[in-house]
Structure 1
Amino acid sequence: MSTTSFSPTPAARTRPRTPLQPVTFPRLVASEWVKLRSLRSTWWALALALAFFPLLAAMRSSSIATIADQAPPGSFVGPAYVTSGVTLALLVLCGLAVVAVTGEYRTGQIRSTLVAAPTRLPALWAKLTVVVGVVLATSTVGVLTGWAAAAPWFDEIGMTVDLTDAEHVRLMLGVPLYLAAMAALAFGIGSIIRSAAAGITSVLGLVFVVEPAFAYIPFEPLQQFAAYLPTAAGARLVTSDSLGSIVTGSGVTTLTPWGGYGVLLVWVAVTLTVAAVLLRRRDA
């Protein structure tokens, strides 16, 4: 009796294994960017936020052109009109920040994300990095398009954007920094609440209802306290010394522009700390 030797066919041979790549923070950031950009709503939100800057800059500049000859020279601060769209952009970008962190809880995809990053916090910081980066880029482009849209009326109005003037530079650079910090605050609130609808309602209620209510109540202690709430404090960075703020109704100027921004960053840090602690302790 003879024995027949068996040689595996090419299909039966063991294929070489694809080496597994370690999960690093840059890869988590790249993954979160893919998730965010793959949503059609992201691009609609960014386009809407971006459109507010040139639209409102042109509207405000053209509206004051008719009365510019009646105002004394130097009455109009160019960056204050260039950045007129900041308030409406704030509304849209904060909503985007909330959805960026709550969307995975609605679909259940958060479980897969946390399996890939079992320590959890790197996934949270990766999401935050993407959100803040997108908001910074969008608002920077928005400021530049607002400048271009308002520029045709500069000569008629007698105003300009002077990048050698410290206040002008602060107002122009302050808008992206302010919007990025507010988006980070909204992101933290969304991470705590885990619901898009409740998160957006909470953020917009804080920004457009609670804080203005404190600012307009004719009671001095409450008005002083309102100046230290996140929106009012951070808005000091984008407040013109002569024209006041177009973001908040608080007229208290106890805080310096950068001091107010520092207070906003403290609010952001506290909110994100709470979000991080709850992410580690709660089930997905």
Structure 2
Amino acid sequence: MTVTAAGPPPVSARPVADPPARFRDLLAAEWIKMRSLRSTPWTLGLVTLFVIAAATVEAWDSYTDFPGMNPETQREPMFALSDAFPLTGYWTLTLVAVSAGAIAVVSEYSTGLIRTTAVAVPARGSVVLAKAAVVTVVWTVVGTVIAAGSFAVSQAILSGRDASVSITDPVAVRALVASALLPPVCALIGLGLGVLIRHSATTMVTGIFALLVLPSFFSITMRWSAEINHAMVLTAWERLIAMWAEPSGDGFYRPTVTESWIVYAAWPLVAVVAALLVVRHRDV
């Protein structure tokens, strides 16, 4: 009887772990998610047209009222930048941006897609950072288009009365930058609130209340109340687009330009950092 030598035992194949997702892949995934929403192009397009239309209406009203204004106002048109960046238009833009930032997060919680995302990418902090990066880029582009369009249209109308402001004016540049950055600031606040709250309606109401309603509770005629008012995003934006000089002794406590820029940076930073801390220590 012939005996054959037994060969080596078969080696069982070990499962090969998938490499961790690269950050640029997360960015691409988040961009696809945002782009695939049918509401995204409509929202961005309509809010852009609305704000520019509001600036056009404001500038045209000033154009028609200009002959009846007092000579001092005609020589120093304090309304030029307020027409370029109208409150109605930018309050609407704030509402839309904070809601869109919230939707970028809570839409995944409402559909359950967040569980799939967490399994595919265990590094939840990286997912939040990718969402924040995409939201920042998209709304910065939108904000820049809106600010530039509103400024160009309004100043073209006011130039007919020699009441326009030149783009080379330092205050005009500051107002343009502040207005272009307002949408991404608000969108990041909405995103941070979305991670913390995880409920669409509650997140949007909270964001709208914090940005649009809360500042009205604090008067600028008392120091303690004014200090709280100065910490609000829209108060900071209104200061940055204003043509008047630094605060003077007129009975009102107004923020400085430096304080306003700090507020601009602090709100989105705190929102994103809070989201990162919470998402790493909480189940989906």
TM-score, normalised by the number of residues in structure 2: 0.82
Query: Contact 1:48–1:92 at 8 Å: present in 2 too?
Result: no
Q: Which amino acid aligns with 1:239?
A: A
Secondary structure of 1:66's aligned partner: helix
1:33 corresponds, among 18, 27, 31, to 31
Map 1:55-66 onto structure 2 (within 5 A).
Answer: 55-66=53-64
Query: Contact 2:194–2:203 at 8 Å: present in 1 too?
Result: yes
Q: C-alpha distance in 1, partners of 2:197/2:241?
A: 29
Q: Report which stretch shifted further, 54-63 or 256-265.
A: 256-265
Q: How far has the Cα of 1:21 moved from its partner?
A: 6.8
Tell me, yes or no, if structure 1 residue 92 matches structure 2 residue 96. Answer: yes
1:191 corresponds, among 188, 192, 195, to 195
Q: C-alpha distance in 2, partners of 1:273/1:90?
A: 21
- In the TM superposition, structure 1's runs of 4+ consecutive aligned residues that sit over 4 Å from their partners are none
Q: C-alpha distance in 1, partners of 2:238/2:203?
A: 21
Q: C-alpha distance in 1, partners of 2:231/2:64?
A: 37
Q: Which amino acid aligns with 2:196?
A: I
Partner of residue 150, structure 1? 154
Q: Which amino acid aligns with 1:265?
A: A
Structure 2: give runs of 5+ residues left out of the alignment: 1-17
Partner of residue 229, structure 2? 226
Partner of residue 15, structure 2? none
Q: C-alpha distance in 2, partners of 1:258/1:49?
A: 29
Tell me, yes or no, if structure 1 residue 266 matches structure 2 residue 254. Answer: no
Q: How far has the Cα of 1:125 moved from its partner?
A: 0.5
Distance 1:144 1:234, change over 3 A: closer
Q: C-alpha distance in 2, partners of 1:172/1:233?
A: 14
Q: C-alpha distance in 2, partners of 1:194/1:146?
A: 34
Q: C-alpha distance in 2, partners of 1:88/1:159?
A: 26
Tell me, yes or no, if structure 1 residue 180 matches structure 2 residue 178. Answer: no
Q: How far has the Cα of 1:264 moved from its partner?
A: 3.1
Secondary structure of 1:161's aligned partner: coil
Partner of residue 256, structure 1? 256
Identical-residue share of aligned pairs (%): 27
Distance 1:156 1:76, change over 3 A: farther
Partner of residue 276, structure 2? 276
The alignment's C-alpha RMSD in Å is 2.3
Partner of residue 119, structure 1? 123
Distance 1:81 1:114, change over 3 A: same
Q: C-alpha distance in 2, partners of 1:185/1:44?
A: 22
Partner of residue 206, structure 2? 202
Query: Contact 1:154–1:160 at 8 Å: present in 2 too?
Result: yes
Distance 1:258 1:27, change over 3 A: farther
Q: CA-to-partner distance for each residue in 1:160-204, whole Å, 9 max, x for gaps?
A: 231221101101121112222222112111111111110000011
Q: How far has the Cα of 1:77 moved from its partner?
A: 4.8
TM-score, normalised by the number of residues in structure 1: 0.82
Query: Contact 1:178–1:237 at 8 Å: present in 2 too?
Result: no
